[in-house]
Amino acid sequence: MEDILNKLGWALLIAFSIMVLIIGVILYQNNFTDEPEVKISAFYFIISIIFLGSGIYFRKLSKKV
């Protein structure tokens, strides 16, 4: 059980970092290129914060089990 929670925590933290990377690429594209502007909805930020919080929670929970 501890191993599953640990892997789930890592997977969520990796998903968070991928979301941050995507948001960074969109912001770079909007500010420094001549491409059409892409809007970032608050949904992306909310989902990335949920991934971060869940990842930290499952990593701490795996240490308690």
- The whole-angstrom distance between residue 37's C-alpha and the CA centroid of its chain comes to 22
- Model pLDDT, residue 65: 80
Query: In 18-33, which positions are buried (b, 16+ CB within 10 angstroms) versus exposed (e)?
Result: ebeeeeeeeeeeeeee
What does the pLDDT look like over 7-59, one tens digit per residue?
999 999 999 999 999 999 999 999 998 988 888 889 999 999 999 999 999 99
| pLDDT band, residue 64 (cuts 50/70/90) | confident
Nearest-angstrom CA–CA distance, 7 and 14? 10
